[in-house]
Chains A and B, each alone.
Chain A
Amino acid sequence: MNTIATLLKGETGIISEESLDVIPLKLLEMGCLPGVEVELLQVAPLKDPLYICVNGSHLAIRKEMAAQIKIIKS
């Protein structure tokens, strides 16, 4: 199963529809929606948090959150 946390640096994926319930409202509001492409831009030196680009927003989220958001790798 692929999640944002399993992406390698520079890889992209599409957030799956089933993730809707696990994504907190705030993250949805910032553009992190099902069906949207997400790219892993950077990983912090201690492997956490992750720096992603989704729907034009550049966001840092923690690995535990990223591991819950399922994606389909492109």
Chain B
Amino acid sequence: MENPKPVKVALIGNPNTGKTSLFNQLTGLTQKVGNYPGVTVDKKQGSCKLSATKTAIITDLPGTYSINPTSVDESIVLKSLLNTGDKDFPDIIVVVADVENLKRNLFLFSQVKDLEIPIILAINMADQIDRKGISLDVETLQKELQTDIVLISARKNIGIDAVKKAIENCAEASITQPLCSINHKIDEDYFEKLKEVSSNHTLYELWLMITQNNFPATISEEEKKRLLEFTQDVSKVKRYQHKETIHRYKQINDILKRTYIVDHSKAKDLRSKLDRVFTHKIFGYVIFFGILLLIFQSIFDWSTAPMDFIDATFANFSEFIKINMAPGVLTDLITDGIIPGIGGVVIFIPQIAILFLFVSILEETGYMSRVVFLMDKIMRRYGMSGKSVIPLISGTACAIPAVMATRTISGWKERLITILVTPFTTCSARLPVYAILISLVIPEKKLLGFFSLQGFTLLSLYALGFATAMISAFLLHKTLKVKSTSFFVAEMPNYKLPSLKNVVFDVLEKTKAFVLGAGKIILAISVVLWFLASNGPQSYKDVEQNITENVAYKNLSSEEVQQKIAAAKLENSYIGIMGKSIEPAIKPLGYDWKIGIALISSFAAREVFVGTLATIYSVESDDENTSTIKERMRAEINPYTGEKMFNLPVGMSLLIFYAFAMQCMGTLAIVKRETKSWKWPMIQLFGMGALAYLASFITFIIFS
């Protein structure tokens, strides 16, 4: 039997309508996350078996209230629907609507319908119809909207087969016509002229092209020129957009009057009761900070065991390869470059997954919107928005997803400030650095008899990171001259129990995106570092000969000679030379060239600090017993003072340096992509770098 080409289906709908639930039900484990070209918006696709012979490729478009975009995510919807020539252009669109707010959902439906692409309306939460006192005349509604309607309950897996059936039938029928004739009611002349520009596109498509200034490849230069003439009178276009919106709502109202009745007395009042608690002026904040505490506590408590396990596994694996492969450059590359590089990414998975788990649950339940509502006024004093809270919380796991999470902030200045200050929050990559330095230089004493001094130091560093983020946000707020029309609106969705399937898919998808995105960079830098540490100019190649021929070393055992060689090799390798060349600059902070190497390599990712020092000290350690990195660091002697290298002043200075410095290429890359210029990541790099240098210098002096 011949296998027909799969049908391309796009899911579109308001946020919080259960669009993602439907997507998960239709595609299950076949879903894949890719990227739209040029932007970092996730493109979720999956396949779905419609019948024995037919399959569909389903794309989950970002949630939006309208085709007219106000954010990067939303602009994807417009682009996907205007680009008729694209290979991914949908054959069928399924609009997912929430039965409780059918009016607003139908607004988006009416826009999509006017694009004259075959369309199906899936009304979700159909199981709630009776409970909410809603009565719905589906048959009349189908006729009025000229579309197939399917009632579903995506979470309960009801009506999914009907959706598949509708997609299959729709693919065969595919007769379409616009719902709202925008031209007659607003300005007939204007729209008639517009229609004449191109016969290949519907009137509404042409209208979208001029209002959104988005011209697909199917529009010729000549046509584009004519379209641009329509945009000359900006205020007219704007006025017509407003009129169009009102016209659409009017038409929807007329239709719903005949088909949709809500008995408000039946509607449950759970929302307002919960709102009263969650947005209460005292309990609201108490609950929020309680949840924050729970999140942080869990990130640390739950992740210790899996992180130790990952750490040990990668170390063992590296050891295993070393023993079983023939020694050589390739083995070295694998055991000292690639495996630790991958390990350096994988080790963060537990913490990041736990954080995403909480964020996902809070968003699924609808609670996150209440936090936005609660925090907006406070955050605005610092030039940010209530929506900045989510990125700042996410920043405690990793700044990369946090910067991406700022997309929901509509004001550019508020969003920019959030992006700029997010790297100050203590991300999980700083944690291993803090942990080892604290255990080295802070005594294991109790404060007031019960409070661990080491724990208190760690907590202070978190507080420092957060305070610095807020202070710098305030300064940026007062000094940044950025044009921005800030306009804030947040939907307060109904409270829901989180769906396990949605949460699991969400966590998997985000974690995967982090591992693949940040992982590539960290892995690449690890390999580069390995190369720089195991290669060098002529002096590096001469090391072995010089030492074995040196008369002063004649009496040493062969093992001791090997260590001397290893140490000298490191010193003469490319990275050793780099470390030495920055030594004068970092000496005032109390560091030597070996720490300098660690600082340079930390630009890949902060946690590389520990690994680098482990490498440096391991190649030159002269005692078999000092096996752990901590012991090796403790044994390290400052070549200038003859005292211990990691004493209190150096340790504190390093802690402060890592708290402030922008040492993360991954974040810089993502900031560049999100702000579309190198200006802002460079400001972060040098601004935070200068602050780190100055603060560490002062810290070193205070503690010396």
Q: How far, in whole Å, are A4 and B678 apart by their CA atoms in the complex? A: 42
* Set of chain A residues within 8 Å of B68, measured between Cβ atoms: 25-26, 29
Contact A56 B242 (CB under 8 A): no
Report the contact-size class of chain B (Cβ under 8 Å from the partner). Answer: 35 or more
A-contact bits for B64-76, CB 8 A (1 contact / 0 none): 0110101000000
Residues of chain B in range 357-377 having any CB-CB distance to chain A below 8 Å: 369, 372-374, 376-377
Q: Is the Cβ of B488 less than 8 Å from the Cβ of A29?
A: no
Partner of A48, one of B65, B245, B246, B376: B376
* Known interface pairs A25-B68, A30-B104; A47-B377 also in contact (CB < 8 Å): yes
Q: How far is the CB of A33 from chain B (nearest CB, A)?
A: 6
> Which B residues lie within 8 Å of A67 (CB)?
none
Q: Which stretch in B79-87, B278-286, B329-337, B397-405 binds the other chain?
A: B278-286
Given A29-B68, A47-B377, A48-B377: A59 in contact with B489 (beta carbons within 8 A): yes
State which residues 31-74 of A face B: CB under 8 Å.
31, 33-34, 41-42, 44-49, 51, 55-62, 65
CB distance from B380 to the nearest CB of A (A): 8
Q: What does the 1/0 interface line of B375-389 toward A look like (CB < 8 Å)?
A: 011100000001000
Q: Mark B87-104, 1 if CB is under 8 A from A, else 0.
A: 000000000000011111
Please tell me if B493 contacts chain A, counting CB pairs below 8 Å: yes
CA distance A57 to B66 in the complex (A): 14
Q: How many A residues, CB 8 Å from partner?
A: 31
How many angstroms between the C-alpha atoms of A27 and B490 in the bound complex? Answer: 10
Partner of B103, one of A25, A42, A51, A55: A55
A23 neighbours in B (Cβ, 8 Å): 242
Bound Cα distance from A20 to B492, whole angstroms:
23
Residue contact A33 to B272, C-beta cutoff 8 Å? no
CA gap between A56 and B246 in the complex, in Å? 16
A20 to chain B, nearest CB (A): 6
Q: A41-B275, A44-B377 are in contact. Are A59 and B490 (CB under 8 A)?
A: yes
> 30 A-B pairs, CB-CB below 8 angstroms?
A25-B242, A25-B245, A26-B65, A27-B487, A27-B489, A29-B66, A30-B489, A31-B249, A33-B246, A41-B275, A44-B279, A44-B376, A44-B377, A45-B281, A45-B285, A47-B377, A48-B376, A49-B373, A49-B376, A49-B377, A49-B488, A55-B103, A56-B103, A57-B101, A58-B492, A60-B386, A60-B490, A61-B488, A61-B489, A65-B489
The CA of A25 and the CA of B489, in the complex, are separated in Å by 12
B241 within 8 A of A: yes
In residues 613-669 of chain B, which contact A (Cβ within 8 Å)?
none
Q: B137 interface residue, CB < 8 Å from A?
A: no
A60:B492 contact, CB within 8 angstroms: yes
Cβ of A64 to closest chain B Cβ, rounded Å = 9
Complex Cα spacing A55 to B377, Å: 25
List the B residue with the shortest CB-CB distance to A62.
Answer: B488
B491 CB–A CB distance under 8 Å: yes
Q: How far is the CA of A17 from the CA of B162 in the complex (A)?
A: 43
Given contacts A29-B65, A45-B281, contact A51 B487 (CB under 8 A): no
Query: What distance in Å separates the Cβ of A4 from its nearest Cβ neighbour in chain B?
Result: 12
- Does B356 sit within 8 A of A, measured CB to CB? no
A45 touches B487 (CB 8 A): no
User: If the complex has contacts A51-B279, A57-B101, A60-B376, are A28 and B246 also in contact, measured as CB distance less than 8 A?
Assistant: yes
Most central of A24, A45, A61 by chain B CB within 10 Å: A45
* Interface residues as binary, B385-426 with A (CB distance below 8 Å gives 1, 0 otherwise): 010000000000000000000000010000000000000000
The answer to whether the Cβ of B609 comes within 8 Å of any Cβ in the partner chain is: no
Rounded to whole angstroms, the CA-CA distance of A58 and B246 in the bound complex is 19
Q: Is the CB of A26 within 8 A of B66?
A: yes
Quick check: is B107 within 8 A (CB to CB) of the other chain? Answer: yes
Shortest distance from the beta carbon of B126 to any chain A beta carbon, whole Å? 17
B211 (CB) vs chain A CBs: closest residue: A25
When distances are taken between beta carbons in the complex, the residues of chain B under 8 Å from A47 are 377
Complex CA–CA separation, A43 to B107 (angstroms): 28
Q: Are A31 and B489 in contact (CB under 8 A)?
A: no
Chain B, residues 271-297, CB within 8 Å of chain A (1/0): the string is 110011001110011000000000000
